[in-house]
Structure 1
Amino acid sequence: MMRLVECVPNFSEGRDKNIIESICDAIRKVKGVYLLDFDPGEATNRTVVTFVGEPEPVLEAAFQAIKKASELIDMSKHKGAHARMGATDVCPFVPVSGVTVDDCVELSHRLGKRVGEELGIPVYLYEYAATRPERKNLATIRKGEYEGLPEKLKDPEWKPDYGPAEFNARSGATVIGCREFLIAYNINLNTKDRKLAHEIALNIREAGRAKRDKDGKIIRDEQGKAIKIPGIFKAVKAVGWYIEEYGLAQVSINFTNYKISPPHLVFDECCRQAEKLGLRVTGSELVGLIPLEAILMAGRYYLRKQGKSPGVPEEELIEIAVRSLGLDQLYPFEPEKKIIEYTVAEKRRFEEMRLRGFVNEVSVDSPTPGGGSVAALLGSMAAALGSMVANLSYKDDELMGEKGMELQRLKDEFLREIERDAQSFDAVIEAMRMKAKTEEAKKAKEEAIKNAYLGAARVP
């Protein structure tokens, strides 16, 4: 499985294109990192940048971006509509695939330590990386904003997690941490009535709605706050709105933790809620990117509802999810542009070959593909045969669905190893061909050969 981390730093500059481009360029220069998006805001004077990659390159890119921001952004002159406290205001790591929350918490600590020590910027850790409960919430840490930092840093209760407890007038302070992947998702209704869409939103969102008496007045507690009736789903925020471009109302949803409340369960509940109001859900829309696992979960869910085995190929799971959720109602759903793992997937030269072409390639005098790639192909075919048996047995034993899922995972892993084995051998050959005319070059070659062999050994 690809080890993928997303990083979404927010920089306090949304107007100067040269500064924004310089920060993005610092990210692009780190090998193994993919810059997916940057979204500058004129009124907020803020830019949200999104990039992904394996943990170590992402960690390096995050530091280089924060460093560049500290060189180019002067917070003493910053004005904008959005709350902020630093040149790099907040920098969250997000586990996508093959990494855990704990892995991203570790990255947060490593980045915070380096930013504090090397750049002299006060750093606070938030969300999963928070070192104490009151620092978990970003808004709590940011209270008082940049202008309140001189006094805040004098308070022992607000001593930074890393870096000096001294006011950095140019860079302010930075908040670093780990959060879950945020999915922005809209459910389409066969109405233009925003109020009906909002009625559904009130029922499904965690915050729910205000409790009212028989006369329709909001019931309040002793402090004057409205008493709430909780909604159905945890980690879900939602509102109803009308989109003129589409000519329909939507339930607009943010999933702050799709593992607690997955989109497919919320979609089905919205269908039930719409039916009660005499409405129909006609489809849905994904805004931005989604992790592959969230789509696969939906595909498996709908197959199980049909009494079918969930142990089918990834492509089939994606197709059933898209059809069931109506993700292609407003425009075509393109997996390579909407599923985050697919946006950074490298083309696999051998996997996409026809069978005869691959066998012919093995038979000629090129060193790759070789024995490791052939073994990986055989392993993939063996797992595929096992999955076939599991799927044929599913009606008699539903536990075979779980076996089929695991065998599909192994099948895909072996397919990836076809390419990885060839790449690792190519790396060994490339290292051995390095010129070594000087002592420095000899040491570099020895190190390259050692690393190449280690890389080859890691491929099963």
Structure 2
Amino acid sequence: MPSPLVECIPNFSEARRPEVVESILAAITDVQGVHVLDRHSDLDHNRTVLTFVGSPAAVEEAAYQGIARAAQLIDLNQHTGAHPRIGATDVVPFVPITDFTMQECVEMARRLGKRVGDELSIPVYLYEDAATKPEHQNLENIRHGQYEALKEEMGVNPARDPDFGPHKVGPAGATVIGARAPLIAFNVYLTTNEVSIAQKIAKAVRHSNGGLRYVKAMGVMVEGRAQVSMNLTNYHQTPVARVVEFVRREAARYGVGIHHSELVGLLPQDALTNAAIWYLQLDDFQPDQILESRLYELLRSPTQAAAAAQQPDFIDQLASSTPTPGGGAAAAHTGAAAAALVAMVGRGTLTKKKYEAVKDQMWALVEQAESLRTELAQAVDEDCAAFDAVMAAFKLPKDTPEQQTARAQAVQAATLLAAQVPLKVAGKALDVQKLALQAAADGNLNAITDAGSASALAHAALTCAAYNVRTNLLSLEDEKAVVDLKNQLRILETSSTEQEGLMHKVLVERGGISLG
């Protein structure tokens, strides 16, 4: 399987101070695993657009670092430019590329938005697929009046309240974060310096004024030439070639033509292929007729298969003769699987309008489930490391009384840790059970058995973790620690049994499932 890949295209309100742009770029590239694909700065717009890709975690962190650096270096009170803006980091979209869903990009946007609001005290709006309000899906609605209007209205007009962060605008302004499909930023320069012509053409082509679907446009002056600046939000439904010909036709009405066009950032290969097919009238063209595409597939498949063959999965490792991973790691792995199921039920609820009333609860549930899934997945390695530490302690030298004392102390310390790790797993498994119960009670009814399965897996994870706690307690000499750990374990087990009973009740009463 390919690794998840996400694209981020942040827009920063600066282009005229190269040292500022370089500093922001450095903050992004300092994050390991991020690859910058493109950089576009426009002096008239006074705006820089960066495009980078990487693993979801790396991209999310890089976006945060870029926002933080921009907030330090850009003062919107001193900023001027032709492009509308409300923030030093004006807009940050996430785009799913490989093995990653739009829903997961929405969750990235929410996490980043909350972090930026909490840690940087910057108001954050969510837009496009991440929007919490219908009126915030369209970026233009959020940017209405730009920074100057927002500074006056935020905290006074409830309609301008952000999703995260303070209800007050500082020098860094506000930031818009979201998730969307690939967008093509495309500019057409006209053979005139009359910006009014570009504005008329923009009005004719943009969808909001009755023009082409999936086209946003405005007319501006750039480098002494009138420009129709556009965002094409769905190039499959409204191809680039159709947009160019529309602009060409409208321009002819005013006695001008197209001087040249410009791409801001990157665009998908399909967009160029579709344009070539349209202009060349290749009616019977097939995508696999592109030489590079055929070569890419030929070279890619064997490599991926070989790489996958070299990566044994957890189940294979569990089945091997080595002592780790063992039962404790299996408990953590099972708990992580339970948390993943809870997250799945939450996401399956968020996409249904029928459950709009519990949307906020489901967002919180998904976020908590994902946090637990990460922690339990990490506990797999923690459990293996704890067992290895016990084995290492037993191998310490014991030739002298001093060595014997040091060895005994090391064994006891390692044994205590080996009991604490599965106890932590048991506690997190109980947390998963509680979330599973909420998912079953309030979530998508069609997924109620998935919530029930999550609860059963979490209960099993807790039981297995408890076995590993107790076996380590047999070797622990600190009686007070033994009593304390046993008491904690009993409380967890009692609560887990109670949760299991409550889940059975929900499955019967809400799900109509017979458990007899």
**TM-score normalised according to structure 2 size:** 0.46
Report deviation, 1:295: 3.6
Match of residue 160, structure 2, among 158, 161, 175 = 158
1:122-161 aligned within 5 A: 122-142=123-143, 143=145, 145-146=147-148, 148-149=150-151, 151-161=153-163
* Structure 1 residue matching 2:62: 3-state secondary structure: helix
Give the equivalent residue in structure 1 for 2:110.
109
Q: Distance in 2 between matches of 1:161 and 1:146?
A: 19
Q: Distance in 1 between matches of 2:189 and 2:45?
A: 29
Q: Distance in 1 between matches of 2:250 and 2:85?
A: 39
Match of residue 260, structure 1, among 227, 237, 240 = 237
CA displacement 1:65-111 (0-9 Å, x = unmatched): 112223x2263753323543333222122345554543432321121
> Which one has the bigger helix percentage?
2
Report deviation, 1:233: 5.5
Q: Distance in 2 between matches of 1:258 and 1:73?
A: 35
Q: Distance in 2 between matches of 1:446 and 1:102?
A: 33
* Structure 1 residue matching 2:93: 3-state secondary structure: strand
Q: Which amino acid aligns with 2:165?
A: G
Contact 1:126 1:137 in 2 (8 A): yes
CA displacement 1:335-389 (0-9 Å, x = unmatched): xxxxxxxxxxxxxxxxxxxxxxxxxxxxxxxxxxxxxxxxxxxxxxxxxxxxxxx
Q: Distance in 1 between matches of 2:267 and 2:291?
A: 15
Give the equivalent residue in structure 2 for 1:73.
73
CA displacement 1:278-330 (0-9 Å, x = unmatched): x9999987665321232455567789x6564626244277xxxxxxxxxxxxx
CA displacement 1:153-202 (0-9 Å, x = unmatched): 2443333211233x25343321112344333557999xx7999xx89x96
Q: Which amino acid aligns with 2:303?
A: E
Contact 2:9 2:93 in 1 (8 A): yes
Contact 2:130 2:179 in 1 (8 A): yes
Q: Distance in 2 between matches of 1:154 and 1:14?
A: 32
Q: Which amino acid aligns with 1:312?
A: D
Q: Distance in 1 between matches of 2:212 and 2:141?
A: 27
Q: Distance in 1 between matches of 2:272 and 2:147?
A: 38
Give the equivalent residue in structure 1 for 2:215.
235
Q: Distance in 2 between matches of 1:36 and 1:154?
A: 41
* Structure 1 residue matching 2:119: 3-state secondary structure: helix
Change (3 A) 1:291 1:2: farther
Q: Distance in 1 between matches of 2:90 and 2:202?
A: 34
* Structure 1 residue matching 2:116: 3-state secondary structure: helix
Match of residue 416, structure 1, among 300, 308, 319 = 300
Structure 2's unaligned 5+ residue stretches are 313-380, 386-516
Q: Which amino acid aligns with 1:256?
A: T
Contact 2:28 2:65 in 1 (8 A): yes
Report deviation, 1:150: 5.9
* Structure 2 residue matching 1:312: 3-state secondary structure: helix
Give the equivalent residue in structure 1 for 2:286.
310
Q: Distance in 2 between matches of 1:147 and 1:271?
A: 35
Q: Distance in 1 between matches of 2:287 and 2:211?
A: 33
Q: Distance in 2 between matches of 1:168 and 1:281?
A: 40
Report deviation, 1:112: 0.7
Q: Which amino acid aligns with 2:179?
A: C
Contact 1:30 1:61 in 2 (8 A): yes
Q: Distance in 2 between matches of 1:14 and 1:280?
A: 28
CA displacement 1:195-226 (0-9 Å, x = unmatched): 9xx89x969964489xxxxxxxxxxxxxxxxx
Give the equivalent residue in structure 2 for 1:36.
37
Contact 1:238 1:254 in 2 (8 A): no
Q: Distance in 1 between matches of 2:244 and 2:146?
A: 39
Q: Report % sequence identity.
A: 40
Change (3 A) 1:135 1:106: same
Q: Distance in 2 between matches of 1:86 and 1:274?
A: 33
Contact 2:94 2:105 in 1 (8 A): yes
Q: Distance in 1 between matches of 2:113 and 2:57?
A: 14
Contact 2:88 2:174 in 1 (8 A): yes
Contact 2:153 2:160 in 1 (8 A): no
Structure 1's unaligned 5+ residue stretches are 210-227, 318-407, 429-442, 448-460
Change (3 A) 1:311 1:77: closer
* Structure 2 residue matching 1:92: 3-state secondary structure: strand
**TM-score normalised according to structure 1 size:** 0.51
CA displacement 1:105-127 (0-9 Å, x = unmatched): 23211211221223232211123
Contact 2:39 2:265 in 1 (8 A): no
Give the equivalent residue in structure 2 for 1:292.
269
Q: Distance in 2 between matches of 1:67 and 1:174?
A: 11
Give the equivalent residue in structure 2 for 1:334.
none
Q: Distance in 2 between matches of 1:31 and 1:445?
A: 27
Which protein has the larger Cα radius of gyration, Structure 1 or Structure 2? 2
1:140-289 aligned within 5 A: 140-142=141-143, 143=145, 145-146=147-148, 148-149=150-151, 151-165=153-167, 167=168, 169-184=170-185, 206-207=205-206, 230-231=210-211, 234-235=214-215, 237=217, 254-264=231-241, 288-289=265-266
Contact 2:217 2:231 in 1 (8 A): yes
* Structure 1 residue matching 2:22: 3-state secondary structure: helix
Give the equivalent residue in structure 1 for 2:122.
121
Contact 1:146 1:172 in 2 (8 A): no
Q: Which amino acid aligns with 1:131?
A: T
Q: Distance in 2 between matches of 1:120 and 1:203?
A: 36
1:307-456 aligned within 5 A: 308=284, 310=286, 312-315=288-291, 415-423=299-307
Q: Distance in 2 between matches of 1:85 and 1:128?
A: 20
CA RMSD of aligned residues (A): 5.1
CA displacement 1:245-293 (0-9 Å, x = unmatched): 9xxx9998652320221235556889999999xx999998766532123
* Structure 2 residue matching 1:145: 3-state secondary structure: helix
Give the equivalent residue in structure 1 for 2:61.
60
